[in-house]
Structure 1
Amino acid sequence: MTTLLSHDSDVTETNSLPLSMVERMTLIMEAFDRPLARLTLDDVTQHTGLPRSTAHRILDQLVQCRWLIHAKTHYSLGSRALTLGGRERTQHELRSAAANVLQALARHTGLCVHLTTLAGSEVYFLDMFGAKYDQRTPLQVGGRAPAHCTAAGKAIMAGLTPEYVDSQFTTTVRGRQTARSIHDMDTLHQELARIRARNGLAVEHGEYLPHLSCIGAAIRGPEGPVGSISVATRHDGPIRSLAPIVLRAARSVSNTLAHNEVPH
């Protein structure tokens, strides 16, 4: 009996101990049980039961370590979390939602159409439709490119907070792919402001590859960009004439994602 009472006492004492940092971080990460989840601070505190100040502090630390992304008032899974396991599911959702639209866009334009998402400071190419412009085009499914040098990446970045852009791209933006590449933060922020003024349409001429031009638009989830569609053509191609159909394609995929969104 003494042993039993002692054991029960130990259990009670253990259960009354405050949660460790690891346990609190685990509670928060479990709130993002879907890769495309977009949660506010209030959503996280409601899910975890943690004090608001505690949840906010841990969320900030998770953002700094790239486990989460903070865009405007919402948080979502960051590049580290997506790389560990959520990425495949996210890719599947985006590719499923976009496949028919991208195939139709490739048929209509006769050009190369890409589906991309942001992975840290790079864009990750999830899918591709249409014939490649030529064999010098290294934009392949599974490939990566600096986000600030591509229309696809800039379209996504225009939907992120300036603070997040500063934290993720200040170092990488100094690297130039071509003579036309953006290579300082002031110029990058000016370009992102122009994209927002064009309803999210991003254009690049020879910024990643000298012989290519691209036009892109972001695919948006409920609270921010989750990917982008871009069309590539030769450097002197009529890229701006594609603006209306690229914007329509991105909106169509965004609407499909919203329709497929399963509430918590």
Structure 2
Amino acid sequence: MARLVPAVLRAADILELFLGDDVTLSASEIGSRLELPRSTTHELLTTLVERHYLVRRSGEETTYRLGPKLLELGARYQQRLEFTAEADAVARQVAAECRETVHVAVLDGLEVVYVSKVDSTHSVRLISEVGRRLPAHCTAVGKVLLAGLSEEELSARLKGHRLVALTENSITSRTALRQQLAKVRETGVAHERSESNPDAGCVAAPVVDATGEWMAAMSISIPTSRHSDEAWPRWEKLVREGAAELTRRLGGRPATP
């Protein structure tokens, strides 16, 4: 088991004191309740105030209350809950239309993390799960999210990183990857044919937040046994519409090629 950091634990203990009925607490009250030395209490409180987790109020006795940084974190957590719920709802709609597996994913470094999944209704379906990670360059959702990065950010993330192959069709050349990403920016949609799974392909489109950032991507994943030139345009249309609907629900403006 990894070692826990005492200073972090004490800082968390201080913040959690405010989960009770007290809106404000003095340094002496905090130190007494947590049985902390006066100097340690002072250092922890000074640090929490400096980082805006607490606000110091001067008066007859200096007191502390929760600061705005906690509100920011709470709001971000709430947004994540709302995002997941909306992603699930829209993914179900798209899956009902195409009867294929629908995913929503976000980017973490150079990996994608799947945050929503609705299974295909066909007897032959893909095996995947929420929370799974894959190299972004091998997936349609990953290509969308990499395409949404600035050139500077993309270069920084790729620096010193080898593009691993998951199948014989995976991209391993940075030049080839950049060419595909340029096409994604131009068309607003990405394709992947047996690059992460030899038995499947995907088409994906960006989910855009209120700031215009490509914050997530939605994909339709299809076993190669059901691939056809006639079906791809329909899947592309459906994933564009689904990503646009999720974008609108999150207060963003859908991407336009």
Task: Identify the TM-score tier after normalising by the shorter chain.
Answer: 0.5 to 0.7
3-state SS of 2:117 partner: strand
Q: 1:60 matched to which residue of 2?
A: none
Counterpart of 2:189 (choices 201, 219, 227) is 201
Which aligned pairs between 1:210-249 and structure 2 lie closer than 5 A?
Answer: 210-221=198-209, 222-235=211-224, 237=227, 238-249=231-242
Q: Does 1:33 align with 2:72?
A: yes
- Whole-Å separation in 1 of the counterparts to 2:145 and 2:94: 19
- Whole-Å separation in 2 of the counterparts to 1:35 and 1:180: 42
- Whole-Å separation in 1 of the counterparts to 2:74 and 2:141: 20
Contact 1:213–1:239 (Cα < 8 Å) also in 2: no
- Whole-Å separation in 2 of the counterparts to 1:201 and 1:168: 22
3-state SS of 1:92 partner: helix
3-state SS of 2:114 partner: strand
Would the alpha carbon gap of residues 220 and 134 (structure 1) be closer, same or farther in structure 2, given more than 3 Å must change? same
- Whole-Å separation in 2 of the counterparts to 1:227 and 1:145: 14
Q: Does 1:151 align with 2:144?
A: no
Matching residue's letter, 2:158: F
- Whole-Å separation in 2 of the counterparts to 1:181 and 1:150: 9
Which aligned pairs between 1:185-200 and structure 2 lie closer than 5 A?
Answer: 185-198=174-187, 200=188
Shift of 1:183: 1.1
Counterpart of 2:249 (choices 231, 247, 256) is 256
Contact 2:166–2:197 (Cα < 8 Å) also in 1: yes
Counterpart of 1:162 (choices 138, 148, 151) is 151
Shift of 1:196: 1.1
Would the alpha carbon gap of residues 26 and 146 (structure 1) be closer, same or farther in structure 2, given more than 3 Å must change? farther
Q: Does 1:129 align with 2:118?
A: yes
- Whole-Å separation in 2 of the counterparts to 1:185 and 1:35: 38
Which aligned pairs between 1:84-103 and structure 2 lie closer than 5 A?
Answer: 89=78, 91-103=80-92
Contact 2:101–2:126 (Cα < 8 Å) also in 1: no
- Whole-Å separation in 2 of the counterparts to 1:35 and 1:155: 28
3-state SS of 1:180 partner: coil
Shift of 1:241: 2.7
Matching residue's letter, 1:258: G
Greater Rg by CA: 2
Q: Does 1:120 align with 2:92?
A: no
Which structure 2 segments of 5+ residues have no match?
1-45, 55-67, 253-257
**Structure 1, 108-117 or 96-105: larger mean CA deviation:** 96-105
Aligned residues: 188
Shift of 1:26: 8.5
Shift of 1:98: 2.1
1:2-45: per-residue Cα shift (whole Å, max 9, x none)? xxxxxxxxxxxxxxxxx99x947989x94992599xxxxxxxxx
Would the alpha carbon gap of residues 228 and 234 (structure 1) be closer, same or farther in structure 2, given more than 3 Å must change? same
RMSD: 3.1
1:121-180: per-residue Cα shift (whole Å, max 9, x none)? 111111111238788844211111111110011111111111111211344452111111
- Whole-Å separation in 2 of the counterparts to 1:225 and 1:149: 18
Contact 1:126–1:141 (Cα < 8 Å) also in 2: yes
Taking every aligned residue pair, what percent have the same amino acid on both sides? 26
Which structure 1 segments of 5+ residues have no match?
1-18, 37-85, 260-264
